[in-house]
């Protein structure tokens, strides 16, 4: 795993690219980023849910979640970058119906919410840049109610050795330009959630061969035993 960019650098990078982020990410991923968002939301959010979209960026996932949760739901967006949240706020104003949305800035490694606050939590492509991905998903686990769901999409390593070698070489070049790489790197967080006692509801690889995504949806234990105590 590549060393994560400094948190301050990440915040500055995402503030600068906020206006073009959606287009840039869609081009680099061949449009599979939005497919991953839909998979996560469809398998995670139910009508009436209180939803946390963590590392919400420009709100692409939150808008899908708002429609899925409906008027009886509630969507909370949190992101390190105020610039990205400004984009999300602008987009939210154009959407009628669905769950109301609240926006706040914050670090997904230290979420400003009490335990068991949400019916479900989402993280689409936001766990990839953080310096401690396992801690990030356990923060999601902490703020989700027992029996609730956690939906994640993150960058993954290519399956074939030759493709992995080529991806590494391309990433060596892209990594020199944080505004292009966005600090994203392949991570693996499933073991941390399994150790916490979560039940896997969905796991699926999608995306282009060089930069695949792993889509993961798990359920927090309804009754927390020793495995669920953090």
Q: Alpha-carbon distance 91 to 86, whole Å? A: 9
Which helix (H) or strand (E) segment is 112 a member of?
none
Residue 1 lies in a domain: no
And the tokens for 79? 């992101």
CA 186 from chain centre, in angstroms, equals: 13
Range of the domain at 84: 7-223
In a domain, 93, yes or no: yes
Token couple for 37: 């968002």
Q: Residue 141 — very low, low, confident or very high, per pLDDT cuts 50/70/90? A: very high
The rounded distance, in Å, linking the Cα atoms of 135 and 150 is 14
Q: Is residue 228 one of the residues assigned to a domain?
A: no
- Spatial neighbors of 21 by CB under 8 A, at least 6 apart, are 14, 57, 58, 84, 87, 182
Inter-residue contact 29 to 213 (CB < 8 Å):
yes
Judge whether 99 lies within some domain.
yes
Domain annotation covers residue 180: yes
What total of structural domains would you count in the chain? 1
Q: Render pLDDT for 37-87 as a digit per residue (tens, 0 to 9).
A: 999 999 999 999 999 999 999 999 999 999 999 999 999 999 999 999 999
Share of the chain above pLDDT 90, in %: 77
Whether 189 is covered by a domain: the verdict is yes
DSSP state of 198: P
SS3 (DSSP) at 139: helix
Determine the number of helices (DSSP H) and then strands (DSSP E) in the chain: 9, 7
Q: What CATH number has the domain bearing residue 36?
A: 3.40.50.150
Whether 63 is covered by a domain: the verdict is yes
Question: pTM for the complete prediction?
Answer: 0.92
230 found inside a domain = no
pLDDT tens readout for residues 142-187: 999 999 999 999 999 888 888 888 888 888 888 889 999 999 999 9
- Non-local (6+) Cβ contacts of 166 within 8 A are 210
What integer pLDDT is reported at residue 225 of this predicted model?
Answer: 55
């Amino acid at each position: 795993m590549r060393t994560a960019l400094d948190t301050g650098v990440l915040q500055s990078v995402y503030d600068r690219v906020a206006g073009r982020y959606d287009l840039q990410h869609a081009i680099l991923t061949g449009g599979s980023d939005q497919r991953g968002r839909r998979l996560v939301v469809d398998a995670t959010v139910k009508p009436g849910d209180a939803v946390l979209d963590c590392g919400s960026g420009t709100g692409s996932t939150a808008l899908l979640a708002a429609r899925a949760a409906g008027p009886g739901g509630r969507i909370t967006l949190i992101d390190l970058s105020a610039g990205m949240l400004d984009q999300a706020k602008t987009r939210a104003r154009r959407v009628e119906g669905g769950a109301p949305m609240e926006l706040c800035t914050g670090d997904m490694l230290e979420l400003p919410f009490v335990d068991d606050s949400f019916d479900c939590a989402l993280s689409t492509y936001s766990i990839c840049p953080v310096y401690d991905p396992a801690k990030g998903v356990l923060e999601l686990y902490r703020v989700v109610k027992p029996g609730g769901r956690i939906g994640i999409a993150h960058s993954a390593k290519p399956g074939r050795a030759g493709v992995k070698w080529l991806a590494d070489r391309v990433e060596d070049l892209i990594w020199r330009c944080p505004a292009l790489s966005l600090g994203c790197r392949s991570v693996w967080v499933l073991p941390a959630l399994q150790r916490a006692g979560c039940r896997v509801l969905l796991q699926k690889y999608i995306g282009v061969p060089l930069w695949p995504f792993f889509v993961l949806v798990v359920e927090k234990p309804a009754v927390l035993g020793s495995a669920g105590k953090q």
